[in-house]
A and B are shown apart, each in its own frame.
Chain A
Amino acid sequence: MSTVSPHSATPKIELIGVKKAFGPKKVLDGVDLSVAKGESFVIIGGSGTGKSVMLKSILGLLRPDAGTIKVDGEETTHIGGRARDRVMTKFGMLFQGGALFDSLPVWQNVAFGLIQGQGMKRSQARDIAIEKLAAVGLGPDVANLSPAELSGGMQKRVGLARAIATTPEIIFFDEPTTGLDPIMADVINDLIVKCVRDLGATALTITHDMASARKISDRIGMLYQGKLIWQGPTSAIDDSGNAYVEQFIHGRAEGPIQMQVKLG
């Protein structure tokens, strides 16, 4: 444990000028971001603006074309092999689509990082898995089901339980409340807040749910056309003075952001 305070010199995660294109399509076009230790940062932005791509670039699942990514001050942009494995142990990730292992029962999904990553005994890992499932509102009866037998929202929650099971230092949530009812969404919000406040984790969350964003974040940033066009403390989101942010948080069809749709 270091004793640095949240706004100290070494950020937990730092992106400098990160660019990523798929063929001719520029998705990230110079993203600069710095998230302090123990901070909860929320990224908002339209569908298809590259939010998921940004998280995957930080995790090393996608290789950025340019720019630098640092985790705990260590440059991780181009590392691989063992160095990458070591950095990975700091992370937990909830994938947008859940990405549960369909060949394993639910409890083994949740316990996967404990058993395979940390070499914990299966019986002990199972107890922890049941505990984490309870934290996301799932009873022990689902533990032995296969992921395909769960509803979409339940799969999302299992994915969440898996992401937090190893109590990682940094947790990425890709749309944690999408597909959940409002009450369960709020339970998940509380859970994310708890991970950050009680366990001291650093969280980076993507969401379209503004109520959730306000509740779980210390700071919010908006991604638009490959750049973080605005970022600031959550309290400042309502008077950001940025027309794009205004339009987005109020969900207006009219404004500077033009959707590529044609109304018949």
Chain B
Amino acid sequence: MGFLSGIGRATLVFLAATGRLALFTARGLSHCVRPPFYPRLLVQQMREIGYNSLPVVGLTALFTGMVLALQSYTGFARFNASSAIATVVVLSITRELGPVMAGLMVAGRVGAAMAAEIGTMRVTEQVDALTTLSTNPFKYLVAPRLLAGTLMLPCLVLVADIIGVFGGYVVSIYRLGFNPSAYLTSTAQYLQTIDVVSGLVKAAAFGFIIALMGCYNGYHSKGGAQGVGAATTHAVVSASIMILMINYLLTGLFFS
């Protein structure tokens, strides 16, 4: 009996949390499309999420591309299939690793910062102060972040794709001794628009999730510094897990 009621209680808690998140998402989205808008804040967030994440995302992509080339070489050399390296690198980067790596890095960098900033504003009553100054916190804080996240992650991933492929190229040419023009030809040969587009769509979804989890956890944080810390952790962990789950679902949708 105790066991069953435990399951029941956990289910109720889970459903309540899901409902709260769904409500928050709906409210956030509705404020994205209803005026007044805050273009200044949107630009600021786009700079923060997009431009300022470039170094982190670029480095991640560079090393991912490099290690991909190296690993596939050691694997494929056994089957005399080393000419497939270029294809493996470009498809892995554009379809999976570009968006997922960029998503996880941005979740750590930006999702955490959003949760900490909004959480601090919540516990120091700045969110309440916004309301008393006739400014809707959803419009002022949540909507610009959701929009900026959704718009900027695809841009970041596009850059990451290029840098990642470049990383694979550098290793293949200078370390593994491939012919540059042959490598580039086989890079382009099997690459299709859907490979890149699916990655960018994933990126948009990840950007939305990162901003959503950052805002949601920050907005509902309570209890001072400790509460803000917990909100930050939740934002990063939940965004990361959701990125991996959604990545699986979207891959299934695009390539099945």
Number of interface residues of A (CB under 8 A): 25
Known: A85-B136, A116-B140. A95 touches B131 (CB 8 A): no
Partner of B129, one of A60, A85, A89, A99: A99
Q: Are A116 and B133 in contact, with the CB atoms below 8 A?
A: yes
Q: Chain A residue with minimal CB distance to B120?
A: A102
Give the interface size class of chain B.
Answer: 10 to 19
Q: Are B132 and A116 in contact, with the CB atoms below 8 A?
A: no
Which of A126-166 touch B at CB < 8 Å?
162, 166
Query: How far does the Cβ of A62 sit from chain B's closest Cβ, in whole Å?
Result: 9
Q: Are A88 and B140 in contact, with the CB atoms below 8 A?
A: no
CA distance A166 to B131 in the complex (A): 14
CA distance A101 to B134 in the complex (A): 15
* A93 close to chain B: CB less than 8 A: yes
| Binary contact readout B38-51 vs A (1 if CB under 8 angstroms, 0 otherwise) | 10000000000000
CA distance A101 to B122 in the complex (A): 11
Query: How far does the Cβ of B220 sit from chain A's closest Cβ, in whole Å?
Result: 15
Q: Are B132 and A97 in contact, with the CB atoms below 8 A?
A: no
CA distance A103 to B38 in the complex (A): 16
Q: Are B126 and A99 in contact, with the CB atoms below 8 A?
A: yes
* B11 close to chain A: CB less than 8 A: no
Q: Are A85 and B126 in contact, with the CB atoms below 8 A?
A: no
CA distance A137 to B61 in the complex (A): 54
Q: Chain B residues near A214 (CB, 8 Å)?
A: none
CA distance A59 to B134 in the complex (A): 11
Q: Chain A residues near B129 (CB, 8 Å)?
A: 93, 95, 99-101
Partner of A61, one of B128, B135, B136: B128
Partner of A116, one of B117, B124, B128, B135: B135
Which of A155-198 touch B at CB < 8 Å?
162, 166
Partner of A56, one of B38, B126, B128, B134: B128
Q: Are B133 and A113 in contact, with the CB atoms below 8 A?
A: yes
CA distance A101 to B121 in the complex (A): 8
Q: Chain B residues near A117 (CB, 8 Å)?
A: 133-135
Q: Are A59 and B132 in contact, with the CB atoms below 8 A?
A: yes
CA distance A118 to B125 in the complex (A): 22
| Binary contact readout A52-69 vs B (1 if CB under 8 angstroms, 0 otherwise) | 000010011100000000
Which of B119-167 touch A at CB < 8 Å?
120-121, 124-126, 128-129, 131-136, 140
Query: How far does the Cβ of B148 sit from chain A's closest Cβ, in whole Å?
Result: 15
Q: Chain A residues near B128 (CB, 8 Å)?
A: 56, 59, 61, 95, 99
Q: Chain A residues near B121 (CB, 8 Å)?
A: 101
Q: Are B134 and A85 in contact, with the CB atoms below 8 A?
A: yes
Q: Chain B residues near A60 (CB, 8 Å)?
A: 131
CA distance A99 to B133 in the complex (A): 12
Query: How far does the Cβ of A149 sit from chain B's closest Cβ, in whole Å?
Result: 16
Q: Are A112 and B135 in contact, with the CB atoms below 8 A?
A: yes
CA distance A56 to B129 in the complex (A): 11
Which of B48-104 touch A at CB < 8 Å?
none
Which of A58-111 touch B at CB < 8 Å?
59-61, 85, 88-89, 91-93, 95, 97, 99-103
CA distance A95 to B135 in the complex (A): 16
Q: Chain B residue with minimal CB distance to A60?
A: B131
Query: How far does the Cβ of A110 sit from chain B's closest Cβ, in whole Å?
Result: 11
Q: Chain A residue with minimal CB distance to B135?
A: A116
Q: Are A61 and B133 in contact, with the CB atoms below 8 A?
A: no
Q: Are A88 and B134 in contact, with the CB atoms below 8 A?
A: yes
Q: Chain B residues near A166 (CB, 8 Å)?
A: 133
Q: Chain B residues near A100 (CB, 8 Å)?
A: 126, 129
Q: Chain B residue with minimal CB distance to A89?
A: B134
Q: Are A97 and B133 in contact, with the CB atoms below 8 A?
A: no
Known: A97-B125, A99-B126, A101-B126. A92 touches B140 (CB 8 A): no
Q: Are A113 and B124 in contact, with the CB atoms below 8 A?
A: no
Q: Are A59 and B135 in contact, with the CB atoms below 8 A?
A: no
Which of A184-231 touch B at CB < 8 Å?
none
CA distance A118 to B129 in the complex (A): 16
Query: How far does the Cβ of A209 sit from chain B's closest Cβ, in whole Å?
Result: 21
Q: Chain A residue with minimal CB distance to B140?
A: A116
CA distance A88 to B134 in the complex (A): 6
Q: Chain A residue with minimal CB distance to B123?
A: A97
Pairs across A and B, CB under 8 Å, 6 listed: A85-B136, A92-B132, A95-B129, A100-B129, A101-B121, A118-B134
4 further contact pairs, Cβ within 8 A, besides A91-B132, A99-B128 = A89-B134, A92-B132, A93-B132, A97-B125
